[in-house]
């Protein structure tokens, strides 16, 4: 049994340390993770792997063991690579989850302290208030209007109101009121841990981006199989032996299958999430990375997001009593304090405490009843010494007080200065009526230094902004004007004035720079829904316990990590670890860059596939007059040595300064513009360079159309064609870094990974052609000097084709320069 004195003092730091060593950290047993071996095996039996396994078996049965071995190598390398990326992404996601703040307020050594939830031990006195996540099993010792959401344990969203002496369980949330409680169980001994042992972690559905990529891959694979069948028929019609025809058709199929596409997508998303975490934006679900880049409307809070959340008392108007009395009542009705030189609790209430200490206000008094702040009353009060002490929003407090001359003028003066204004009153009884008005307190929270630039970025990016705040309209308008958010129409509305009709609400708010003041959590939910109904991709910030529904309704729910409640963080897709508006904009920029990166490596993959397919198409269309420029093994070598590393480097391309220029690029990843660029420009250019090098070496060696070339000459020509594809892909990789700028305008050092990938490819090219045994295995040979010259022409051909296409697009006004 915990005594009153124990509640007042809590454990000592020494006692807590001893118990922590005995009990261990307050951490739930981790869910059983899929073994690494299972993850690796999964990469060997998916759709594409099964396709290639079947091909290797058929090649072996057809008497082509070299091809069978090469295909097996492709499967193993791709599987191992995909496993490495999945494992790395899983580990990265685990580390990112550990960044989510999980703190708790306790009383130790007789004072309030903020500690990590993992440090809780039995006997700790925990101080709860609305928005907190309960981090251990507790026994309630003192309750003030407490309401708890136990849906995580019971599945029912009904509010539970436990009384003193009753339990509160880990994993639940405080929705209303305040309480003091004693920890009775931690970690694996909690009720939540017992339930967790009986359940299995549900797998999340695939993200929209993954679904879209999966569709692309399946379509391409289907086309590859269909084309392979068609070319097998053509081979038989041209008199080729069935075994050779199968080899030919297999080469066509392998050439078109994008084996490395899925791991490239995974790495791109995981890398973007890590970049966001490095900039204090914690992505809770990988799919939110791509959604962020599509945002068209951001509804942002004011306090702590646009401002620093470093409040100070800037003005105090007390018409009939000393300022110290006003501060005394304000502090008594607050829980935030400056404790041990550190702020604990709401920054506004901490500022009141600091000012009260400066004025040497008498803060003693036994509190016999407490009525915490809630968004409906918009005030908080306590009973001390038989008298009521109350503070809150002026329009909520003033109707409870006797009339005071000059209060409206004082309120307007403070609000117009951008101050957050509190009204303070007290009564002779515990009833909240006919109160004595004491004064107004104006608190100043300066705007963040980087807000103006972030707002400017949103404007040039075509993203509309709205300030959605619970503050007074005058205060909200002043801050919005100061940071440059207020639109030209200077539209300022209050939650009470919002239309009930969803269509009318959406039409009213669908403007840039709108300020919505005195909003309730229900208003925020309606705002998100109305803007989404008008086709916007909505990002909504929130920090309060009742903001959860609005954060879930928005396309991107953004919670405050430093000052927000646990409820809001659990409902959000993105958690701002520094609460800064500029961090939201940085996350949007990275989301856009990720979308652009996916298009970059798609362009790169498909261009290479065109070059790999061309020799087979030319051979078939010429009726066998022109020999095959590439063998199937050479195609496989290109897939292994050409596609993967540069594609991965393109997936890590940093956002360029033009990423936030113009509206977001949304819709299908493979659109008409990408197809035209691949199959109308880059693919044909590389194919021409490839076949030009091949035919050129044959002609220089004395070959004539319609005759069978010497095998040595054919191998050298094939080596030249292989080199042309690889060198052309060098240029293609740099061309794919931008959809608007030609290679000469791109700064090479900004993506060092690509430079290393190209260097590796150069080494692989020399290995494939310069080592006689490898060259013979693949079916080529080291080209003569003239062959290298012809192959090297692939670089300028690709550069000129890309530059001409981009110049043409720019003249047509198609390219906005967003990537």
- Sequence-separated (6 or more) residues with CB below 8 Å from residue 455: 465, 483, 484, 485, 581
CA distance 178 to 144: 5
Bridge partners of 539, per DSSP, are 298, 556
Identify whether the C-beta of residue 568 lies closer than 8 Å to the C-beta of residue 559.
yes
Could you confirm whether 315 is annotated as catalytic?
no
User: Which residue intervals of 622-679 are DSSP H helices?
Assistant: 632-638, 644-651, 672-677
CA distance 486 to 482: 8
- Other Cβ atoms less than 10 A from the Cβ of 5: the count is 7
Give the sign of the dihedral formed by CA 517, CA 521, CA 523, CA 528: positive
- Sequence-separated (6 or more) residues with CB below 8 Å from residue 322: none
CA distance 239 to 722: 26
636-659 burial, b for 16+ CB within 10 Å, e for fewer? bbbbbbbbbbbbbbbbbbebbeeb
CA distance 554 to 298: 10
SS (H, E, C) 768-810: HHHCHHHHHHHCCCCCCHHHHHHHHCHHHHHHHHHHHHHHHHH
CA distance 303 to 569: 17
* Secondary structure class of 371 (helix, strand, coil): strand
* Secondary structure class of 409 (helix, strand, coil): helix
- Other Cβ atoms less than 10 A from the Cβ of 611: the count is 32
Q: What's the token pair of residue 549?
A: 């529904």
* DSSP 8-state class, residue 203: P
Cα 494 from chain centroid (whole Å): 31
Q: What's the token pair of residue 551?
A: 């954060």
Identify whether the C-beta of residue 270 lies closer than 8 Å to the C-beta of residue 191.
no
Residue 818: burial class (beta carbons within 10 Å; 0-12, 13-18, 19+) = buried
- Other Cβ atoms less than 10 A from the Cβ of 743: the count is 19
Q: What angle do CA 222, 228, 233 make, to 5 degrees?
A: 135
Of residues 124, 132, 137, 301, which has the active-site annotation? 301
Hey, what's the torsion of the CAs at 770, 74, 257, 240, to 10 degrees? 70
Q: Which helix (H) or strand (E) holds 235?
A: helix 208-237
Catalytic (active-site) positions = 301
């Amino acid at each position: 049994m915990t005594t009153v004195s124990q509640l007042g003092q809590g454990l000592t730091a020494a006692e807590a340390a001893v118990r922590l060593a005995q009990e261990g950290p307050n951490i739930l047993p981790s869910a059983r993770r899929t073994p690494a071996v299972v993850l690796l095996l999964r990469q060997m039996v998916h759709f594409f792997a099964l396709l290639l396994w079947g091909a290797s078996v058929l090649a072996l049965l057809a008497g082509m063991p070299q091809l069978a071995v090469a295909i097996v190598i492709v499967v193993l390398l791709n599987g191992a690579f995909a496993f490495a990326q999945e494992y790395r992404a899983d580990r990265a996601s685990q580390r990112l989850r550990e960044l989510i703040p999980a703190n708790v307020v306790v009383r130790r050594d007789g004072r309030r302290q903020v500690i990590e939830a993992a440090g809780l031990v039995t006997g700790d006195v925990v101080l709860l208030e609305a928005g907190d996540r309960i981090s251990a099993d507790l026994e309630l010792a003192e309750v003030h209007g407490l309401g708890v959401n136990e849906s995580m344990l019971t599945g029912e969203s009904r509010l539970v109101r436990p009384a003193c002496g009753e339990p509160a369980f880990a994993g639940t949330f405080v929705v209303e009121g305040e309480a003091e409680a004693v920890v009775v169980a931690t970690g694996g001994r909690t009720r939540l841990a017992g339930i967790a042992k009986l359940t299995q972690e549900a797998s999340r559905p695939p993200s929209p981006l993954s679904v879209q990529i999966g569709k692309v891959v399946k379509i391409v694979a289907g086309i590859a199989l269909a084309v392979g069948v068609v070319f097998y028929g053509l081979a038989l019609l041209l008199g080729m032996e069935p075994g050779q025809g199968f080899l030919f058709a297999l080469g066509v199929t392998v050439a078109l299958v994008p084996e490395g596409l899925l791991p490239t997508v995974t790495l791109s998303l995981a890398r973007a999430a890590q970049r966001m975490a490095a900039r204090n934006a914690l992505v809770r679900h990988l799919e939110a990375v791509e959604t962020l880049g599509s945002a068209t409307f951001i509804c942002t809070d004011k306090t702590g997001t646009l401002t620093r959340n470093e409040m100070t008392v800037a003005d105090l108007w007390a018409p009939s009593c000393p300022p110290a009395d006003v501060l005394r009542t304000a502090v008594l009705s607050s829980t935030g304090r400056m404790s041990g030189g550190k702020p604990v609790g709401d920054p506004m209430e901490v500022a009141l405490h600091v000012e009260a200490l400066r004025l040497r206000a008498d803060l003693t008094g036994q509190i016999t009843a407490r009525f915490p702040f809630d968004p409906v009353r918009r005030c908080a009060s306590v009973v001390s010494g038989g008298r009521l002490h109350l503070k809150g929003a002026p329009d909520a407090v003033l109707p409870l007080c006797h009339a005071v001359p000059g209060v409206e003028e004082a309120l307007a003066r403070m609000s117009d200065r951008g101050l957050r204004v509190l009204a303070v009153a007290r009564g002779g009884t515990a009833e909240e009526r006919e109160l004595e008005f004491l004064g107004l307190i104006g608190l100043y929270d300066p705007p963040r230094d980087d807000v103006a630039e972030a707002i400017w970025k949103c404007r040039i990016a075509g993203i509309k902004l709205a300030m959605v705040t619970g503050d007074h309209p005058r205060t909200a308008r002043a801050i919005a004007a100061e940071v440059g958010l207020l639109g030209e129409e200077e539209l300022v509305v209050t939650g009470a004035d919002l239309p009930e009709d969803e269509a009318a609400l959406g039409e009213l708010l669908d403007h840039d720079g709108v300020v919505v003041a005195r909003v309730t959590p229900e208003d925020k939910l309606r705002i998100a829904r109305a803007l989404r109904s008008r086709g916007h991709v909505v990002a909504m910030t929130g920090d309060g316990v009742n903001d959860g529904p609005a954060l879930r309704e928005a396309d991107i729910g953004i919670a405050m990590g430093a000052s927000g409640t646990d409820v809001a963080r659990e409902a959000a897709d993105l958690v701002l670890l520094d609460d800064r508006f500029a961090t939201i904009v940085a996350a949007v920029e990275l989301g856009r860059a990720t979308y652009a990166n996916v298009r970059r490596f798609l362009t790169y993959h498909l261009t290479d596939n065109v070059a790999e397919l061309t020799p087979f198409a030319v051979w078939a269309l010429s009726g066998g007059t022109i020999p095959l420029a590439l063998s199937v093994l050479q195609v496989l070598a290109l897939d292994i040595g050409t596609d993967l590393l540069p594609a991965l480097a393109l997936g890590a391309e940093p956002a360029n300064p033009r990423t936030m220029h113009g509206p977001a690029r949304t819709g299908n990843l493979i659109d008409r513009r990408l197809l035209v660029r691949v199959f109308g420009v880059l693919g044909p250019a590389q194919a021409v360079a490839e076949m030009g090098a091949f035919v050129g070496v044959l002609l220089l060696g004395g070959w004539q159309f319609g005759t069978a070339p010497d095998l040595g000459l054919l191998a050298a020509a094939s080596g030249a064609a292989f080199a042309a594809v690889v060198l052309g892909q060098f240029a293609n990789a740099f061309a794919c870094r931008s959809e608007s700028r030609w290679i000469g305008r791109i700064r090479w050092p900004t993506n060092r990974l690509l430079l290393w990938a190209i260097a590796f490819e150069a080494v692989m090219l020399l290995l494939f052609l310069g080592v006689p045994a490898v060259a013979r295995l693949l079916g080529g040979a080291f080209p003569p000097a003239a062959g290298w010259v012809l192959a090297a022409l692939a670089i300028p051909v690709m550069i000129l084709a890309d530059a001409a296409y981009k110049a043409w697009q720019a003249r047509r006004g198609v390219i906005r320069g967003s990537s």
